[in-house]
Structure 1
């Protein structure tokens, strides 16, 4: 697996766990919407989707090191990733999902795959 794909695994690792508890798209939005305003800010998005990163970072150094990755996904191009880089990649995905470019994700945008 290419190194560029590995951080995306971190991103999407949190999605199924959140989705299994959501009966509807609106419930799914509430999983992200920590301030309850009915929309998801970049910080809320990053915080929710960093949960998997934080669980993987067993030594708490802010970096998912090679020995912290699931061995099944480690390949010759796998590289450690910092929380800052992970959050930067989440910001890229957020911007692609924010179709109306208002700086927030609504129910429709959050439920749609990133473009």
Structure 2
């Protein structure tokens, strides 16, 4: 359970730092900038490779000591759905990678293997299918 909370915390932090906006409405300026930064080839879509690279970049930025793990001292405080503080656990890069793959697939509403701007904005709120 502790590791799952840590993964959730890491994902929330990574998403908040630039992978998507938590707003479900049309993309705002910050979400668009985030989308554009992940859309490396400029085709108006974010592929799994572009998404993974963006998320791993954020992971590595957070991993201050470069050991391939995010520890509670490397992640900002997080809160659960009720607003209560959650103590994070250690998250390995392998667990993080598996979690972002599930998140990408859940956000890809039309199943075409890429995220368009609307799917990007909804990514953090989508549930697995």
Normalization by structure 2: what TM-score?
0.68
The one of the two structures with greater contact order (alpha-carbon pairs below 8 A, sep at least 6) is: 2
In the other structure, the counterpart of 2:82 is none
Paired with 1:100 and 1:44, the residues of 2 have a C-alpha distance of 18
Q: CA deviation at 1:104?
A: 0.5
| 3-state SS in 2 of match to 1:50 | helix
In the other structure, the counterpart of 2:47 is 41
| 3-state SS in 2 of match to 1:59 | coil
Residue number among 90, 93, 99 corresponding to 1:83 in the alignment: 93
Name the CA shift for 1:79/1:26 in 2 (closer, same or farther; >3 Å).
Answer: closer
RMSD: 2.7
Paired with 2:69 and 2:10, the residues of 1 have a C-alpha distance of 12
| 3-state SS in 2 of match to 1:5 | helix
Residue number among 43, 55, 61 corresponding to 1:55 in the alignment: 61
Structure 1: runs of 5+ lacking an equivalent: none
The runs of at least 4 aligned residues of structure 1 exceeding 4 Å deviation read none
Normalization by structure 1: what TM-score?
0.75
